[in-house]
Structure formats: C-alpha cells, structure tokens
Chains A and B, each alone.
Chain A
Amino acid sequence: MEHANLQVVGHAAEELGRLAVHHVSYLWLIPLFPLVGAAINALVGWKLQRMFGKKIVHRIAVTAMLAAFAVALRAFWQLLHLPADERFLQDTLWNMLTAGRVTVDLAFALDPLSMMMVLVVTGIGTLIHVFSIGYMADEPAYWRFFSYLNLFIFAMLLLVMGDNFAVMFFGWEGVGLASYLLIAFWYTDPEKAKAGMKAFVANRFGDFGFIAGLLLLFWALGGAWTPRDGILRNTDYQPAAELNAVAPAATAAEADALAPRVDGVKVGPTLNFRELRDQVVIEATGVKERLVHTHIWGVSILALIGILLFVGAMGKSAQLPLYVWLPDAMAGPTPVSALIHAATMVTAGVYMVARLNFLFALSPSAMGWVALIGAATAIFAASIGFFQYDIKKVLAYSTVSQLGFMFIGVGVGAYWAGTYHLLTHAFFKATLFLGSGSVILGCHHEQDMRKMGGLKKYMPITRWTYLFACIAIAGFPIANGFYSKDEILWKAFTSRHLELFGVPTPWLGPLIYAIGIIAATGTAFYMYRSYYMTFTGEYRGNSGHHDEHNVDPHAAVAAKASALSHAVHADDGAAHAFGSDAHAPSHGAVSLRAADHAHAVHATAHGHDAGHSAPAHDAAGHGHHGGTPHESPWTMTLVLALLAAGSFFTLFLGIPAAWTHTAPLLEHWLEPTLLAEVPFANVEHVWEYVFQGTGVLAAVVGWLGARALYKDGISDVPARLKARFEAAWTVVYNKYYVDELYALVVLRPSVALARALSRFDGTVIDGLVNFVGAIGRTLGRLDAAIDKYLVDGLVNAVAQATWGIGRQMRHVQTGRIQTYLYGALGGALVVVLLNFLIS
C-alpha cells in the first residue's frame, strides 16, 4: 500500500481550494471482489453447484461481499483519520483512453459521499445476499442468481467510486445490465423477460439525456472544436483561445501537459469529477463566471446541462415520466427488488445530482426542475400506491415516491438531506421489501394482499420488522425516516431561490412543501394499508372463494361468495384484466359486472399466479398454493432484524440542528463533498418545530386512516368507496394508463416506423438498385439483339454469299483437261474480240 501521498495547494482557509488527494492503491479491491465472485459463479458456478451443492455458491458470493465490505471499512477508517477537508482517497489503475482532449483513467475515488454509498452498497448488499440464501433456496439456477447479484454490486461500486464520468457511466450502465438480467431472471415467463427489456430500454432513454448533458458539459468547458463555416457552432460562447486550439494528444501524459492551467488548476474540458470541481469551485480560474454567462440556443447552458443530466437520473431513479419500468421490475426475485430497485441502483440518480452539487447549484433553473419533478413524482406515485393489491407493487410505487422526496431534497439544495433520505430509505425500504419477500415465501409465492391477512400470528419477526419499517417510512420520530423527510420538507419550504425557465419562482419551495406533506400523508396511509392487509385479520390465503378457484373457478364465485364481496371482487377482477391486458375493450370491461365475466377474469388471474409460483415447483419442502403460512428461516429473519435495527440507529446521523444546535452528524461528514452554498430563507427556529409537528401529524393522519379502513379486514368502507368513485378508481388503479400512453406514443410509432423503413429499404432503395440492374440487363439484351441480328448478320451474310458463289463455281471445275482448254480458248477469243472492239 502506498502511503498517504499528500498533494495540497494551499489557499485561504475560507475560500475553497483544490481538493487534497491521498493516493492509495487498494481501492480497486473493493469492486474487484464482487467481480471475482461473479466471474467464478458465472463460469464454473453450475459445476460447483452440482458437485458441492448450493452452499459453495452462496459462500463464494457472500465471501466476496464480506471482503469488499471489509476493504470499504478499512478505507472508512483511513478517511476518519484524515482532516475533514482532506478526505479524498484516489486510486488510478490505468489510462483507458486518450485522444485529443478526451482522456479517461480507470480510477476510483472515495470522498465522504461515495464512502457513504460504498458502505451502503456493500453493507446492505451483504445482508441481502444472506437473505437470498433462504429466499432462493429452491431455485435450480442458484449460481446464476448469485453471479448476477455480485455483478450488480461490482457495477454499483464502479458507479459510486468512479473518479470520472466515464467510470461512473460504466457502472451506470452496468447496473442497468445487472438489473435487466435479474428482472428477467425467470426468463421462461415472457412477461418477466419483457419487464427486464422495458427496464433497460427505459433506462436508455435516460442514458441518452445523460450522454447529451455530459457532451454539453464537456463542450461548455472548452472541448476541442474547430470552427468551420457552414457548420453549426456556438456563436455565443468563445472559450479562451488556448482552449480553442486543436491540440491533439496521443497519450495521457501529453494531454496533461497540453491542458492549460490557471493558478496551477487545470482548466478546460475534463471528465474527471475532481478536476471539474476544482475549476468550477475555484473562482480564480474564471470557469464558473464563464459558465454562468454562457447561453446556447437562448438557454443558459448550465440549466441545459443540469436538466439533461437529470434526464439520466430520471431514467435510473424512476422519476416522471420515465418511472414506468420500476413497477414492472418487481417481476424479479424479491431480494433483487430490495437491493437494486429500492436500496441502491435507483438512488444512483440522486447520488449523481449530489455528486455534481457544485454544478447544479449554479443553475437555479435546473434545481427548480429537479425539485418540481421530484415533488410531482412523489405525489403521483403515492396516489397509485393507494390502490395496488400486489404487495410488491405497493412497495415499488412507494419507492418511486420516496425517490421523488430525495429529488426534492437535492433539487432545493438540501443536498445532505436528500442524501440522508437515500440512506434512511435504503434501510427501511430494504426492510420492507425483504419483509414482503419473507411474506411471499411464507405464503408460497403469493403476492396478492387480498389473499394474505392475519400473518402476524404465523410470522412474528417479519411482522415486527415490517411494522417498524412502516413507522420509519411514515415518519414517526422513533425511526430514521422522520429525520430525513422532515429535513427535506423543511428545506423545501425555506428555499426561495428556485427558478423555472430562468424566471425566479419564490413560491415554488412552499408549493413543493405542500405537495410533499400531502404525499407524506399518502405514504403513511398506503404503507399502513399494506401492513394491515397483510398482517392483521384472518388469513385469506386458503379460505373463501379465492381458494375455491383452485378447484373450479367457474363454480366458485356463484356458489359461495356473499353479495357484497362478490361485487367487489368482480370489480377488481375486471379492472385487473383491464390493467394487464391492453387489448381488453375498456368500457365494456368496466361496465360489465356480471358474474360470468368475473369468472373468466379470475381464471386468467389464477393462471398468472401459477406462473408466479412456477419456480417453486422444484421445491421439495414447499406445499402447494394455499398451505399454511410459515415464518422464514433464520438467515432471512436475522437480516430483517438487522435492517430494522439499522433503520433505528441511523436516525442518530440526522438529529436536526434545531434540537442540538450542532450540524447533524451526516451533514458534517458530507460537508467536504456537498460544498455548494445554497441560500435558504432565514426562518425562526420555532417554525422548524411547527413543521416537524406537521410532519408527525401527517403520518398520524395517514396511519389512522389506514387503520380505520383496513385493520383486520372488517371494514366495508373501502369497497363502498370504490363503488362510489368507480371511474376515478379505475384510472388510478391502472396507473393513469401511462403504460398504454407510452405504447401509443412511443412504442407503436417506433415499430411502425421501423417496419415502414425496412419495407422502404427493401422495396424502394433496393428496388432502385434492382431497377438499375434491370435497366442494365435490358440494355444488355438490346445490345445482344443488335449484335446478333445486325452486326453479326452482316458478317454472316458476306460469308454466306462467298460460300454460295463458291458452291456454284465448283461446277465449272470438271477436272477435265479439255474443259480447261475450252476455257482458255474462249478467254483468248474474248481477248481478241475485245481487242478488235476497243481499237
């Protein structure tokens, strides 16, 4: 290990200076271990599993995780012992590419922010690996699952540890790949495979924005460009002359030597976060000044960069309008949902915005958009969450909603609060997802909450951890969720600097606060709803008409169901079919509430369930659909307990400054990284208590509402409400038809265009080629005809004539000497005669 090689360029203490860099040489081990684990399981896992059993597979995977976690702790230890403003570890492996001004190293960096992320990823990641041992025990392709999981961790570590945009993007896409593989893990089910595809492609929309933003940023910093007439170029912005020159560098050393410097700070285009930060943050370079005043196409270039980068975040972090893939991603195994689609990957967008806080802070417009879209997503997803019956879908929409909260945080400039919510959310949402996984396993791969109920009797540990996580997400002060959410909303209320389209909008902060508090109420409501539906009341899994369907779906409803439940049920079914099958005639499905229709729908619903439980059929120890629920094995409950404990203990990282008069621990820790100064309105501390009280009140309202409606499953109010607001309910239940809208606006036109173009290519373009060919062939034929009949005919005619004449003349030739003599005589006679005649 190389030792602390300190590079500091001193600046005045109050002014931000260059980052002090400690070069170390062990950071690469953190991503390496999961990579090795993934590689071993991918290449020889199936063989190992067959030879030594499944134990060896998960031992490899978990060992890799533990090793990575251990190295991360080692790095954490080193960071802790450095002065606060020197906490930056860097490890360069090699130069990946250099050409002109583009130079990219494969390098890792740890600063307080990425350290936090690494600990979350490896720590919670390890726990989820352990959880998976129990959850996936029946899976034949056990090795494949753990290989993918390790691969995901590898990519996620690249994402958070990347020293530059390129390495971050490696991770960014790598997690997308792992997510694709894991969502489509049970690929024999076309629906699940399709969900994976959807996730990847939707993310690609985001990536497009990300790349565009990145290119724009690179350019804005003075990327190598040569002005040419007639070629589109930026007329507003003239970078310094030295930046403008095309200075081709072939190696990294040359590129470094060519880069212009101001006060020893490298300026100019870079993909490196630290170099970017240095030149933007240090006023003396003038980069910040230039960027702020640069406009392109009439828009502030910083706003455009920020929004485009945020589009990337929208894809990865499932914000409006690119969130559609996340609910579908629940097709993956539940630990995957916990790890990727709740705790880590989906927070990548938040992380990215926080990482670039110094850039976003320069553009109030970009911040305004981030916050606004975050708020819109928070309330939108929460509203869908109200009415879902699939427990994982509820959690999925809850995740989307919570991610919206995080974006409110980083959008209004409360970067540490957004990041803190990321951390707390990782704990309580992982608990919730894993709890739901435990429930699903306990109920034999049943995900519909209507077929659960009363599980607290069967699975106490799962129940208590789930409840505690509900408390956390709802925002009661005894768990971590309250502290992060409260800080975000408070900061949102006090922010007055946001802009939209470059227009100052001081009202935006309070508006976002209002939306946020409503969304928070909703959050409490639907989370408790899921809790009550799942754990209280009677177990509905193997009683009532649902079970009868197993025997004879057609007879069951008519025979047994009460009138009320019958109606409700038919209703659900109709809507369900409607949601899952876009081809169903919508109005017919809604208006037709006849029993026979419900039958048909239930038959298909049941088919779906069978599909879901298909992987469990290999299981020896599992009963059939409808057995008694049971508590999960200790590996799973232990993980649940640990995560719930984490949800409690992490609250101490964010005790508000109003209570203690010192900055919260995490804010203090993150300060060197999240250095952007954002002006917040100065509000009396008293108000902060009021707002905290409001937050708790929102949670209580949501909780009580859910309790009244769903506790023990005895209230018939939900059914009546549903009947009353039929149309609205249907629209929300079907997720506002956003998927259908996408199909209509994006998918079908694209496919139609593709078909049309390929037909165009086959007929018109290729037709043109063939037409030219045909013309050539026709000309050829014509030419051949001319040749045959005219040119060749002439030649043949001459030959023919010669031949004919010769044939005739042959008769003269008798071979008799006398004949020849006559000829000679005749000839002489003619000569003589002519002689007389002429003379």
Chain B
Amino acid sequence: MISLNHFLVVGALLFTLGLVTVATRRNAVGILMGVELILNGANVNLVAFNHYVTGGVTGQVFALFVIVLATAEAAVGLAIVLSIFQTFKTIDVRHADLMRE
C-alpha cells in the first residue's frame, strides 16, 4: 500500500533535485528548470496532504494555482533570460553580475 510517506519522499526528492539544479547550474535555462522541479516537489506534497490528511479539493486547487504560476514564471523567466542573452551575449549567470557594485 502506498502511504503518505512515499509521496513525501518523492516530493522531497523532487525538491532537493530542483534545489541542487538551481544551486549548481550556470545556464539560466537550467536554473529555470530547477525552479520548476522545486515547484513540482511542492505540488506533490500539496496533493498528498490533501488526499491523506484533510480531504476535499483545497490541495488540488493550490496545486493548480502553482502550475499556472509556474507557467507564468517560466514565461517571464525566459523573457528575462532572453534579455540577459541580448545584453551579455550569453546565458551564463556568472557573467550577469552588474548588480554586484
């Protein structure tokens, strides 16, 4: 029987992978993808807790919101990446450090 714990482990794995991706990737698109993983890790948790603990549809609705948000985020993020590329001729985030000073 698949219990809540299994879902939580999957969610945690997804989150961790996303976090590592974000922390280590130098490619801006990669980082965006890492962010998607983190968000989906959270989505798994939301749905699982909704199913096993509370019942109803609140968790699912949250997850849907997150998906929509992730889409929007991806759109904006990609636009920014495009802009970074136009400015720096690269999408390596190490070079985009104008705010350092």
Direct contact of A and B (CB under 8 A): yes
| Residue in B19, B97, B101 whose beta carbon sits within 8 Å of that of A816 in the complex | B97
Residue B37 CB within 8 A of the other chain = no
Contact residues, B38-72 vs A (CB, 8 A): none
Give which listed residue, B23, B24, B97, contacts A815 with CB less than 8 A.
Answer: B97
Q: Which residue of A lies closest to B98 (CB)?
A: A815
Q: Does B99 contact A (CB under 8 A)?
A: yes
Size category of the B interface is: 10 to 19
The CA-CA distance from A135 to B75 in the complex, in Å, is 131
The bracket for how many chain A residues form the interface is 10 to 19
Q: Is the CB of A821 within 8 A of B100?
A: no
CB pair A816–B23 under 8 Å, yes or no, is no
B97 & A821 in contact (Cβ 8 Å cutoff) = no
Q: B12 contacts the other chain (Cβ, under 8 Å)?
A: no
Contact (Cβ within 8 A) A822 B93 = no
Decide if B89 is an interface residue (CB 8 Å cutoff).
no
Q: Is B91 an interface residue (CB 8 A)?
A: no
A821 pairs with B98, CB closer than 8 A: no
Task: Report B-chain residues with C-beta under 8 Å of the C-beta of A822.
Answer: 23
Shortest distance in angstroms between A820's beta carbon and chain B's nearest beta carbon? 10
Measured CB to CB, the nearest residue on chain A to B97 is: A815
Nearest B residue (CB) for A821: B23
Main SS class of interface, A: helix
Q: Is the beta-carbon distance between A821 and B22 smaller than 8 angstroms?
A: yes
A815–B101 CA distance with the chains assembled, in angstroms: 8
State the Cβ distance, B97 to closest chain A Cβ, in Å.
3
Q: In angstroms, how far is the closest chain A Cβ from the Cβ of B89?
A: 18
Q: Give complex CA distance A813, B19 in Å.
A: 21
* Any B CB within 8 A of the CB of A835: no
In the complex, the chain B residue whose C-beta lies closest to that of A810 is: B101
Contact with B along A794-816 (1 / 0, CB 8 A): 00000000000000001001111
Cβ of B93 and Cβ of A817 under 8 Å apart?
Answer: yes
A818 within 8 A of B: yes
Let me know if B97 and A818 touch, CB within 8 A.
no
Chain B neighbourhood of A813, CB < 8 A? 99-100
Q: Are B22 and A815 closer than 8 Å at their CB atoms?
A: no
A816 touches B22 (CB 8 A): no
State A749–B71 Cα separation when bound (angstroms).
115
A825 vs B31: C-alpha distance when bound (angstroms): 16
A754 to B: closest C-beta gap in Å: 80
Q: Whole-angstrom distance from the CB of A387 to the nearest CB of chain B?
A: 113
Complex Cα spacing A818 to B99, Å? 14
**Contact between A818 and B93, CB atoms less than 8 A apart:** yes
Complex Cα–Cα for A818 and B26 (A): 9
Q: Which of A810, A816, A821, A825 contacts B94 (CB 8 A)?
A: A816
Q: Tell me the bound Cα distance from A306 to B14 in angstroms.
A: 134
Distance of A376 Cα from B94 Cα, bound (Å): 127
- The reply to whether B100 and A815 form a contact with Cβ atoms under 8 Å apart is yes
In-complex Cβ contact of B97 among A810, A814, A825 (8 A): A814
* Interfacial residues, chain B to chain A (CB-CB below 8 A): 19, 22-24, 31, 93-94, 96-101
Q: Which 5 A-B pairs have the closest CB atoms?
A: A815-B100, A815-B97, A815-B99, A821-B23, A814-B100
Given contacts A818-B93, A822-B23, A825-B23, 14 further A-B contacts (CB under 8 A): A810-B101, A813-B99, A813-B100, A814-B97, A815-B96, A815-B98, A815-B100, A816-B93, A816-B97, A817-B31, A818-B22, A818-B24, A821-B22, A821-B23
Provide a sorted-by-A list of 11 A–B residue pairs whose CB atoms are within 8 angstroms.
A810-B101, A813-B100, A814-B100, A815-B97, A815-B100, A816-B93, A816-B100, A818-B93, A822-B23, A825-B19, A825-B23
